[in-house]
Amino acid sequence: MSIEIVAVTLLVVVGLVNAAPGVVAFSVARTRVAYGVDVDDPVLTVLLRHRAVLLAIVGIGLIVSAFVTSMRVPAIVAAAVSMTSYVAIAGSTKGVNQQIRRVLRADVVALVGLGAAGALLAS
């Protein structure tokens, strides 16, 4: 298997991890499953739905960048900033629930995959 195929596969997988929360934009009820919270506040609903759209954009950007080489650097940087900021914020916040810790661990694993893809593409 070539380095390019491994890197492209990693970009697609990490893109899917980032895009998956996008479902919350269409189904607020999914926030309970994803984050372990009930959303009764309309303002919080708007914020979570908007966050879901932004995550989907980052994920779709990564997936597209797997096939459009000119998009790779911006997509990788955007995804790295997004996931690193979540890891930093969630990791430094006391009292987060198990679902938030699960998402944090998933982002750490995805960051490793993203770093590996970037390193493979740079070689």
Q: What was the pLDDT predicted at 58?
A: 97
What's the pTM value of the predicted model, to 2 decimals?
A: 0.88
Q: What CA–CA distance (Å, rounded) separates 94 from 84?
A: 17
Q: What was the pLDDT predicted at 108?
A: 97
Q: What was the pLDDT predicted at 90?
A: 94
Q: What was the pLDDT predicted at 35?
A: 74
Q: What was the pLDDT predicted at 15?
A: 97
Task: Report mean pLDDT in 10-residue bins for the chain, 123 residues.
Answer: 93 96 81 75 86 94 97 97 96 91 94 97 91
Q: What was the pLDDT predicted at 16?
A: 96
Q: What was the pLDDT predicted at 66?
A: 97
- All structural domains of the chain with their residue ranges: 3-118
Q: What CA–CA distance (Å, rounded) separates 41 from 58?
A: 26
